[in-house]
Structure 1
Amino acid sequence: MENEKQKKILFALIPIVIALLSFFVIARFTSSTEFNAKTIQSLDDKKTTVMELAAASTAASAAITLIPGDVGTPIANKLADLSSYFLIVLCAIYLEKYLVTITGYAAFKILVPIACVFFSGYLLWRKEILRVVAQKFLLFGLAVYLVIPASVKVADMIETTYASSIESTIETAKQTTDEIESETGESGQVDDKSSNEKFQSDSDSDSKENAGGFFSGLFNKVQEGVSTATANVENVLNNFIEALAILLVTSCLIPILVLIFFVWLVKMLLGLNIDIPTSVRK
């Protein structure tokens, strides 16, 4: 009888040892930035992409406002509105980045040790409620720790497919912005030259007509260039919307879906009857 009691105490000490290892050793590694360097680097790369897209959309919006008339105003306003959505994506990325280390701390510093203590109590007193609570804390702790790395991994798989499309959107936006600024700059120079020529040639009607015809043709050419750039911006707007949709899915929707999956998995596992070995029961 005494031997059986010592055996029971010995088995009960094993979860306590695991709890101490989790609290003092494992938690230190899982909550460190070095241990999660790959996940953090992936989130930093995504953050850089979002900031580049936000800057490119803002620059394109500002450039379109330089186009004479109100032709580009709706597009400029739409591009400006995208900044708020990029901010949402950026906040989600920062939240994931901070949760990477926090969840590791919470799981192995708090939840797993608590699970081990409850399971140790079950081995001593054979209260079924203690075993159930231990299972719940353990599975919940593992789910909390794995949800962010798993969601980042899934998001990386999706983003790899569309990486070239997002990079192309940024480059096209920069190129179109430069074209609009160049064309509108030439248009302004043409207006200034036309005014100066008109002022200087009031005494010579023939010179005035020739200069007016020359600058009128040049101005029309510039206007055609601006119209072409405006058409390009419409395509850029569509590309920005597509890129934003990808980022919203990978940064906001995927983490939620992964969390739902882990919740479902934990509930399914808790519904199973996990038998304790007979040698431990005695």
Structure 2
Amino acid sequence: MNKMEKIFGFERSSVLKVTGWIVLALVSFFVIANLPIIETMNNNMVTALDEKKSTVTVLATMATATSVVAGNIPGANSVAENLADINDYLIIVFAALWLQKYLIGMAASFTFKILVPIASILLAINQLKPDYQLKQMASKMMVLGLVLFFLVPTSIGVSKHIEQTYDQSATVSQVKSDSQSEESSNQDEGIGGFLAGLVDKAKTTVTSSIEDVKKILSDTVDAVAVLIITTCVIPILVFLLFIWVINLILGLQLPIFVPKVNISRRLKRQHTHES
């Protein structure tokens, strides 16, 4: 009876679990990573990010055009400089959008073709030769892979909810409609005609009053703030939330990468230096 319960010297239940982990590794590599639904989901996310990237590009161009026009209004030079400086923040938003697109392209393959199969094989080895550290490492690899896979879709979903709630500022909607009208009216003149159209639009929007320039600056700052929150802050918060929930439920103690600062030691060094 004991011989029947053992296979190759191992318990039958252990062999079945090892087989299950190996099957999971194969299914993850050959099936899950190539599912059409994942490709469709990735395409939808890329489309959403491209739309936001187009908004950022047009908003930066409109801010530049408005700053050029505002520079000719007496007393509006400082406001015009602030409008021009907004492009520095839009570059950060643009970089964050490209990073999210990169994560979309590699998350599924990296998770289901590398992390999950390797973690499954390590768990299979652990089943035959139990090792707590090996099990912890495999569990962390699998969980981090799933966090990486669901990070961008979740952050995009939360960002869309915020954008729908606050309508992403009236400036963004107005800029997008202005850019579409200018692009259609200047499509035969190329990018030069498009930029010229935006400058003309800025001239008609900005009158001789400095209050008009301040209003445009305020609306643009609001729009950029919403873009920074939805493209930079939300993904970081979603990642930290995932890690916190995983640590709370599974007790894996995944690192949250928050630097620890020993304030007392720093104050002591500063006091020693001053004495």
TM-score, with length taken from structure 1: 0.72
Task: Give the aligned residue type for 1:254.
Answer: I
| Paired position in structure 2 for 1:258 | 238
| Paired position in structure 2 for 1:78 | 82
SS of equivalent residue, structure 1 residue 36? helix
Sort the Cα spacing of 1:131 and 1:182 in 2 relative to 1 into closer, same or farther, 3 A: closer
Q: 1:145 aligns with which of 124, 149, 152?
A: 149
Deviations along 1:66-114, whole A, 9 cap, x unmatched? 33xx422111111000011111101101110111121222111111111
Q: 1:126 aligns with which of 126, 130, 133?
A: 130
Percent sequence identity over aligned pairs = 35
**2:148 matches 1:167:** no
**2:1 matches 1:4:** no
Task: Give the aligned residue type for 1:268.
Answer: L
Unaligned segments of structure 1, at least 5 residues: 184-224, 273-282
Aligned Cα RMSD in Å? 2.8
SS of equivalent residue, structure 1 residue 71? coil
Q: Whole-Å Cα distance in 1 between the matches of residues 149 and 50 of structure 2?
A: 20
Q: Whole-Å Cα distance in 2 between the matches of residues 137 and 26 of structure 1?
A: 17
Q: 1:227 aligns with which of 202, 205, 208?
A: 208
Task: Give the aligned residue type for 2:246.
Answer: V
Sort the Cα spacing of 1:111 and 1:30 in 2 relative to 1 into closer, same or farther, 3 A: farther
Q: Whole-Å Cα distance in 2 between the matches of residues 171 and 241 of structure 1?
A: 16
| Paired position in structure 1 for 2:267 | none
**2:105 matches 1:101:** yes
| Paired position in structure 2 for 1:208 | none
Sort the Cα spacing of 1:127 and 1:226 in 2 relative to 1 into closer, same or farther, 3 A: closer
Task: Give the aligned residue type for 1:181.
Answer: K
Sort the Cα spacing of 1:226 and 1:135 in 2 relative to 1 into closer, same or farther, 3 A: closer
How far off is 1:179 after superposition? 6.9
- Check the 8 A contact 1:143/1:266 in 2, yes or no: no
SS of equivalent residue, structure 2 residue 72? coil
| Paired position in structure 1 for 2:66 | 60
Q: How many residue pairs are counted as aligned between the two chains? A: 228
Deviations along 1:256-282, whole A, 9 cap, x unmatched? 11111111122223328xxxxxxxxxx
- Check the 8 A contact 1:169/1:240 in 2, yes or no: no
How far off is 1:119 after superposition? 1.6
Sort the Cα spacing of 1:171 and 1:117 in 2 relative to 1 into closer, same or farther, 3 A: closer
**2:33 matches 1:27:** yes
| Paired position in structure 2 for 1:155 | 159
How far off is 1:41 after superposition? 1.4
How far off is 1:122 after superposition? 2.5
Task: Give the aligned residue type for 1:72.
Answer: A
Unaligned segments of structure 2, at least 5 residues: 180-196, 253-275
Task: Give the aligned residue type for 1:118.
Answer: L
Q: Whole-Å Cα distance in 2 between the matches of residues 38 and 139 of structure 1?
A: 24
Q: Whole-Å Cα distance in 1 between the matches of residues 131 and 36 of structure 2?
A: 32
Q: Whole-Å Cα distance in 1 between the matches of residues 149 and 207 of structure 2?
A: 53
Q: 2:216 aligns with which of 211, 231, 236?
A: 236
| Paired position in structure 2 for 1:203 | none
Task: Give the aligned residue type for 2:226.
Answer: I
How far off is 1:30 after superposition? 8.2
- Check the 8 A contact 1:66/1:181 in 2, yes or no: no
**2:229 matches 1:249:** yes
Q: 1:181 aligns with which of 180, 203, 211?
A: 203
Q: Whole-Å Cα distance in 1 between the matches of residues 27 and 219 of structure 2?
A: 51
Sort the Cα spacing of 1:128 and 1:180 in 2 relative to 1 into closer, same or farther, 3 A: closer
Larger mean CA deviation between 130-139 and 174-183 belongs to 174-183
| Paired position in structure 2 for 1:116 | 120
**Computing the radius of gyration over CA atoms, which structure comes out larger, 1 or 2?**
1
Q: Whole-Å Cα distance in 2 between the matches of residues 43 and 172 of structure 1?
A: 18
Q: 1:41 aligns with which of 37, 42, 47?
A: 47
Sort the Cα spacing of 1:4 and 1:47 in 2 relative to 1 into closer, same or farther, 3 A: same
How far off is 1:165 after superposition? 2.1
- Check the 8 A contact 1:180/1:226 in 2, yes or no: no
